[in-house]
Amino acid sequence: MLSIVLPAYNEQQMIEKVVITLQQLLTANSIPYELIFIDDGSRDNTWNKIQSATKKYKHVVGVHFSRNFGKESAIFAGLEAAIGDVVAVMDCDLQHPPETLIQMYREWENGFELIEGIKKSRGKEGIIHTVSAKTFYKIMSKATGIDMQNASDFKMMDRKVVDALLQLPERNTFFRALSSWCGYKVRTVEFEVQEREAGETKWSVTALFRYALTNIVSFTTIPLQFVTLSGVVFLIIAIILGVQTLMKYFCSGAVEGFTTVILLLLFIGSVIMISLGIIGYYIAKMYEEIKARPRYIVSEVIKSTKDREGELNG
């Protein structure tokens, strides 16, 4: 069975449309499936829509978060709830073309364990968005050693990969990179990002910035090396200036050079502050991990894993 995980945050207009589209497509291709909607604490009628969908269509499962925990948490809740031998993750705004699912499914049948959706182009995005996304993915590609340009959350995974992901203990997850990090037999499938049909994107510039920072810190310690590097640079400057100062002192009685002192003070001050900030950020993230709070809190489930296992056997 194919489980499809669909994180939904304020997507009331999309739920029914998605169910109908996927139902038609998957039945036509005779693929057994279940649809798992994770309502990520939506403020509109998304949960009602999911509830009525679970009543109307028997393959639909609903999980309701107690508040908005973010897409990453929703994805992991979906993976946890899925009981299929193969699990796909896709956005529920139909920006990930459903037909690609079939292509992915065939690759899975061919023995691939992780099938990653790669964006052919990034769709319609503003220039600032494109540039910052490019920079972010350059850093992430360096950090993970995996080419992340054009990566997306649209993926299909074998049960093995899902179990491996669910074993990871960290709170700050970055699904897109973690799945590749797991390894396994990977295959990529290209897709064209579709226009959003209804509703609007949930990502503001600040949200994206925070997302980028968190993920960089969770995957690499390169920023910390910046601290060491600036230390080394300043040591070299210190040696040069030190020799010069001593020479002046012995030859001509010194004084003079207040500008240098002021400039150095300002410059070193800022480098120290930035360095402390970087270290502080890592400590903050460690603190968050150490608290080991759950990734999300589920307030309601319709058709739990147990219910469905009964169905499968019976």
Summarize as ranges the residues that interact with ligand UDP (CB under 6 A): 7-9, 11, 40, 68, 70-71, 74, 91-93, 95, 201-203
For helices 15-28 and 99-109, what crossing angle results, to 10°?
50
The CA distance from 158 to 184, in Å, is: 9
Q: CA of 314: how far to CAs of 222, 304, 307, 308, 309, in Å?
A: 53, 16, 11, 10, 8
- Residue 160 interacting partner from Mg ion, ligand UDP, none (CB closer than 5 to 8 Å by kind): none
- Residue 11 interacting partner from ligand UDP, Mg ion, none (CB closer than 5 to 8 Å by kind): ligand UDP
If the CB atoms of residues 48 and 228 are measured against ligand UDP, the closer one turns out to be: 48
CB of 212 to ligand UDP, least distance (A): 13
The CA distance from 283 to 302, in Å, is: 39
CB of 67 to ligand UDP, least distance (A): 10
If the CB atoms of residues 73 and 95 are measured against Mg ion, the closer one turns out to be: 95
If the CB atoms of residues 40 and 158 are measured against ligand UDP, the closer one turns out to be: 40
CB of 207 to Mg ion, least distance (A): 13
CB of 201 to ligand UDP, least distance (A): 3
User: Of 132, 127, 143, 208, which is closest to residue 177 (Cα–Cα)?
Assistant: 143
- Residue 305 interacting partner from Mg ion, ligand UDP, none (CB closer than 5 to 8 Å by kind): none
CB of 39 to ligand UDP, least distance (A): 8
- Residue 113 interacting partner from ligand UDP, Mg ion, none (CB closer than 5 to 8 Å by kind): none
Cβ contact 9:45 at 8 Å: no
If the CB atoms of residues 185 and 196 are measured against Mg ion, the closer one turns out to be: 196
Residue in this structure with the two tokens 């169910």, named with its chain if needed: 19
Structure tokens at 36: 């798992």
- Residue 8 interacting partner from Mg ion, ligand UDP, none (CB closer than 5 to 8 Å by kind): ligand UDP
Please return the burial class of 30, using the count of CB atoms within 10 Å of its CB with bins 0-12, 13-18 and 19+.
Answer: exposed
If the CB atoms of residues 40 and 107 are measured against ligand UDP, the closer one turns out to be: 40
The CA distance from 130 to 124, in Å, is: 9
